[in-house]
Every structure is written in C-alpha cells, then in structure tokens.
Amino acid sequence: MRVVWASVEPVSIQWITDTLNEGRPLAYTTVMTVTERLRSKGWVGRVKQGRSYRYSALRSAEDYTAALMEQALESSSDRATALLHFAGRLGAAEAAALRKALEALPADPDAEL
C-alpha cells in the first residue's frame, strides 16, 4: 500500500513490482495476488488502461492506521485503560493534536446515526 499511496497517478502491477524490487526481489505474480486481495478488501480500485489495469488507493494511509489502532483496542479486555496507556505515551504535540481532534467530535457520536 505504501507504494500505491506514494504515487499521484494510478499504477500498474509492473510498476508496483519494479518499485518493490528495489528493496527486495518479489515475483510479479505475488505482487498481483496481493494487489488483487487489497482490491477485494476495498483498499485499492482499478481501471482498465490498454491491456492492463491501473490501481489507485481507495482508502488513505491514515484510515489504515486508524483501523490498526481499532484492531489493537479490540484485543484489549479494558479499552479505557488501553487508551489511557496509549495517551500517556504521546508527546506533547501529539497529545495536543489528540485533544483537538476529540474536541471536534460531536458530544454523543451515536446521536448522529
């Protein structure tokens, strides 16, 4: 996903493979399989261009990070304490950003549903 997020334009499987192969060798078919799995999960979309497809991100890196954080919270038997421990590890600027984000939320998020 980092390779797709880094590109402004939709990218081909070959381009993704070439970019990833700068770090370590991966088979084209492996990259194609993973990309198609990401597409089936709603992380990337594709459009036909010529004889191949071009892929682009449907969800942001920030959305991915938030989903990971949610998964971590789901694994805790005490979400409030886990959140408290997480917040205690934030630097001053991150804590201020979190406060600002929380203040921007509606008082009762369920009321909006």
The rounded distance, in Å, linking the Cα atoms of 60 and 64 is 6
Q: What is the domain extent for residue 83?
A: 61-104
Which one, of 21, 1, 26, lies nearest residue 11 by Cα? 1
Does 99 lie in the same domain as 52? no
Coil/strand/helix, residue 50: coil
Q: What is the pLDDT of residues 66-93, one digit of tens each?
A: 999 999 999 999 999 999 999 999 999 9
What CATH number corresponds to the domain at position 9? 1.10.10.10
Does 73 lie in the same domain as 50? no
Does 51 lie in the same domain as 12? yes
Q: What is the pLDDT of residues 23-70, one digit of tens each?
A: 889 999 999 999 999 999 999 999 999 999 999 999 999 999 999 999
| Residue where a domain terminates, one of 20, 35, 57 | 57
